[in-house]
Structure 1
Amino acid sequence: MADELAGHRTGTRLREHRGEAGHGTAPPPADPRRRQALALLLVGPFLSLFDQFCVNLAAPSIDDSFRLTPFEFQAVVGGYGLVYGLGLITGGRLGDVFGRLRVYRVGVAAFALTSLACALAWSPGSLIAARLAQGAAAAVLQPQVLALIRTRFPPAEQPGALSWFALSMSLGMVAGQVLGGALPAWDVFGTGWRAVFLVAVPLSLAAFLLLPATLRPDRPDSAGQGPDLTGAVLGALSVACVLLPLAAARELPFLPTGLALCAAGCLLAAVFVRDQRAKTRRGRPAQLPVGLFALPVFVHGVLLNFLLYMASVPFAVVLALYLQEEAGFSSVEAGLAFTPAALAIAVGSRLAVPLRTRCGDRVLVLSAALVALGLAAAPAAAASAGSGAFVPLLLTGMAVYGLGNGMVVPVLTGAVMSRVPPKDAGAGAGVLATTQQLAAALGIAVVGVVLYPASAALPLRYTPAMVAGVGIAALSVVLAARLAAVLRRPS
């Protein structure tokens, strides 16, 4: 009896891990060249983050070429992230409906073309249009990667694949900071800032051309249902109404215009959720699988993901500004200051899986604490500016932050996606990525309130702004402990 009960529990856990409970279908045979395919799939998350962050340090060079107005400057820097955030859930659901590999290849081809258009831009308007289109392409390709890992890799291989996924995303963010400052300064072949966008073209084309030889086309369970156009419009409008006032907090008067837009976004989100629930009950195609939000692990994981990005993204922006405007670093030196984080992310992402095997879900708490500790080193270094401790303290902090970041992303992503049924893998990945964009926008808005003084004549408050980011990271440690407790509960 005890053996039968143990076997029943083990089978149940395996079905839940694979998302196959109640479907009664065996997973397709694994692709023999899936490891080569993974390297090509990871081009997508790397480039989607690289091209979001590279403009932070390349923007001054772009401004020198075009003499951008404040609105144009904001559109070049933030337009990509806005469209990217708006389209992620829709992009994920397109993969569920039409096939993730096919949609990924369409997205990566579009990313190559739009990146080339950015590099060839001849005016502010052409660059802004290309950046917006580039964000839309990224929204199409990005969710497919997690969905393909969830559905096309055996469960035993998924943690390792997710660690590489985490590494590609984190390195994309850090490499964007490093090369965004270095490439314009190096002026490779006289291309200046345009080289920043040309990086994506050969990588995207390689992924597009080589993937069919390594991965069979998938036939998702949602094929033939058709897209939920009403849900796509409602979801995009609700996200837009929240993101717009946050992304343009310095240009748009938050009271009353920004507050009204946020309120409208919340109202539209409520209408969107109600619409999705009604369609799910009737068995009609729905943009968002609302049943995911009844899963405690999914909800806690998405919230933890939100807090981590809310702390990390604005922190990177503020630190890059501080190093150039206050510490006297050149754009190249400011970019290179993030190099220890990149190296430590590579180490942390490879340590994550064996550490979780040995220590269990407590590794979430440890990694979140390392992120907070690493970020705390930056304001401590700023307080010691002018002394010999400044650079060592800053670089050590970046390494500690990178180690924690590299560890937390694969463990957290694996915990969240393991609860998503395979047929909804694209939409689940879209939800996860959308929360990252919302968190980044909200974090920049919150930290911006601290950073910018009431009077333009006063200096920017870099250290208090970095401390605000550390406070948000500290909250993520508390939520990581809560998620670890939820993961320990019996299924």
Structure 2
Amino acid sequence: MDPKRWLALTVLLVATFMDLLDANIITVAIPSIQRDLGASAVAVQAMTAGYTLSFAVLLITGGRLGDIFGRKRMFLTGVAGFVVASALCAAAQNTEMLVASRALQGLAAAIMVPQVLALIHVTFAPQEVGRVVSLYASMIGLAIVSGPVVGGALVDWSPLGLGWRSIFVVNLPVGVAALIGAWKWMRESNSPHAKRLDIIGMLLAIVGLLLLMLPLTLGRELDWPLWSIVALVAAAPVIALFVVYERHKTRKDGSPLVTLSLFKVRAFGAGIGVQLLFSAIPAGFFLSWTLYLQGGLGWSALHTGLTAIPFSICVPLVGGLAVRKLFPLYGRYCLMAGALSMLAGIASYAWMARHEGADITSWHAIPSMLLLGSGMGLLMPPLTALVLREVTPQEAGAASGIINATGQLGAALGVAVISGVFFSALASNAGPEADRVVPAVRAVAPQQAEAVKTCATDSLGQDDLSKVPRSCTELAENGDRGSQGVVSGALGEIRAKTFVSTYSETLYWAAGGLVPVTGLLFLLPHHRVRREEMA
């Protein structure tokens, strides 16, 4: 065995931490980015969905590149690209540059991340893999915990006056250290049966996914123009063509981008469906949650990040217990308990947000966050093991790539759909909330009431929530100094109540998304996994 394998593992875990931290850290910085760069709601979605989408579409290809050209070489290439992209994100002068740099980060991560599990597999003896995977899972949990907290701290403290840019600058020293460590301690490896790179399949997959995701991300903001409808319709034949070509590629030389025969395995096919739908829920939940707390209730980024700690701690702790004990004993019932726990967590948070209103605190969120974290821990780690259980060893690499890609695509879909619901509801709820608030504020003159309502609906119905619409400017100019404080207080109350009602409404939609997830779990094999297989 390689005597430097544990040092190499340290590098792999650091790279895993860097990727997951970057995927989670930007959420708490979104309001700061909006204020600084004037980012619209579309840009906010593009920053998050752009990373996950570009990551997802090249994950399987990235793994195949490692098989062909060497996993160490591709790992170094991916880390170097990630560092360069992080520097570009930190230097972004406008939203277009930031969105493009985030997409480049996703592309680099797609080259880097698939090599991690592949290198673990070829570097460690079978009896060591269980311990290594446990460390890998712990690092994932640590990144989930650290993301919101580190992001909130960096945004609030703004080291060297960098503000939100510091969340990207932090990747530079970490990435350079990973490059040096990988160069010194990691040994090269590739597949003895490496397949050809499926260029046509890769292009068809990218085009099909873009035709699907771009309308979902931009359609609502642009009032669903004709091109968005055409793109959605065109996605179906492109994806169908991809499937036909992959079958042809399999018959021709046995080197398709996606091994379609994997989907004939019951556990794999149903598990991928669960993965796709389930991954959408937490991604959309946390984006809308951040906007609600920071944009609506005025919480700081650090306060928001600290509120997520119960969730972040529960995921690795309960996940480890589920893999070691609960899943071997109860099989798919463990997964169902996870889905139901998450549903209860989302529904309870929706009720609590509505009940407590603007007075909600981090303490109120603890029970719901514990249910959410426990549910994810009960479902995700055992699901991955169950999906791979019936996959033959020669197909394990491709299967792992498909699972990771599906998770990322689900996250991008969740960001597009759930945040779309959030922004749409925000615009429609502003008027009714204003009608309830303004009459109760006696100090608001009758002639100002309609102007206050117009200002509230205009400010909450626009793409960029940080901008001041003309109606609000005119309201401030026409009012006397004595009434300005009263009007400002009324507008603040309308904003807070609108965000509260909107977020509660959005959460009920998110909870509904877990219903089909629970139904799909019944399609999974019922047999339990033996303890020695989970070691």
Q: Same fold (TM over 0.5)?
A: yes
If you compute each CA radius of gyration, which structure gives the higher value, 1 or 2?
Answer: 2
Whole-Å separation in 2 of the counterparts to 1:233 and 1:272: 9
Aligned residue in 2 for 1:191: 162
Task: Verify: 1:322 aligned to 2:363, yes or no.
Answer: no
Secondary structure at 2:220 match in 1 = coil
For 1:52-451, list aligned pairs within 5 A. 52-68=23-39, 72-223=43-194, 225-254=195-224, 256-356=226-326, 359-361=329-331, 362-385=333-356, 391-448=362-419, 450-451=421-422
Write the letter of the residue equivalent to 2:259.
Answer: P
Using the TM superposition, give the Cα deviation of residue 315 of structure 1 relative to its aligned residue in structure 2, in angstroms: 0.8
CA distance in 2, matches of 1:62, 1:448: 17
Once the two structures are aligned, what percentage of the paired residues are identical? Answer: 34
Partners of 1:162 and 1:414 within 8 A in 2: no
Q: Partners of 2:134 and 2:296 in 1: how far apart?
A: 36
CA distance in 1, matches of 2:524, 2:124: 25
8 Å Cα contact 1:376/1:467 also seen in 2 = yes
- Report the Cα distance in structure 2 between the residues aligned to 1:388 and 1:121, rounded to whole angstroms: 36
SS at match of 2:196: coil
Query: How far, CA to CA, are the matches of 1:159 and 1:479 in structure 2?
Result: 28
**1:155 Cα shift?**
4.7
> How far 1:383 sits from its partner (Å)?
2.6
Aligned to 1:465: 506
What is the aligned partner in structure 2 of residue 11 from structure 1? Answer: none
Q: Which range moved further: 227-236 or 147-156?
A: 147-156
CA distance in 2, matches of 1:425, 1:38: 20
Which is helix-richer, 1 or 2?
2
Q: Which runs of 5+ in 2 are unaligned?
A: 432-497, 531-535
Q: For residue 8 of structure 2, what is the aligned residue in structure 1?
A: 37
> Which amino acid in structure 2 is aligned with residue 363 of structure 1?
C
Checking the alignment, whether the CA contact within 8 Å between 1:376 and 1:470 is kept in structure 2 is yes
2:155 and 2:164 in contact (8 A); partners too: yes
Inter-partner Cα distance in structure 1 for 2:366 and 2:318: 16
Q: How does 1:8-23 map to 2 (within 5 A)?
A: none
Secondary structure of the residue aligned to 1:385 is: helix
- 2:52·2:411 contact (CA, 8 Å) conserved in 1? no
| Residues 295-340 of structure 1 deviation map (CA, whole Å, 9 limit, x = unaligned) | 1111122112122211111111121122223444222211211111
Count residues with an aligned counterpart. 460
1:153 Cα shift?
A: 4.3
Letter in 1 for 2:335: L
Deviation, 1:486, is 6.1
Cα distance, 1:72–1:356 mapped onto 2, change above 3 Å: closer
Q: Distance in 2 between matches of 1:356 and 1:138?
A: 32
After TM superposition, the score normalised by the length of structure 2 is 0.77
Listed one character per residue, the Cα deviations across residues 112-131 of structure 1 (whole Å, up to 9, x for unaligned) are 22112222334444433322
Q: Which residue number in structure 2 is paired with residue 51 of structure 1? A: 22
Matches of 1:157 and 1:368, distance apart in 2: 31
Residues 405/101 of structure 1: CA separation in 2 closer, same or farther (3 Å cut)? farther
CA contact (8 A) 1:348 1:406 kept: yes
In structure 2, relative to structure 1, the CA distance for the partners of 1:409 and 1:70 (3 Å cut) is: closer
Q: Partner of 1:483: helix, strand, or coil? A: coil
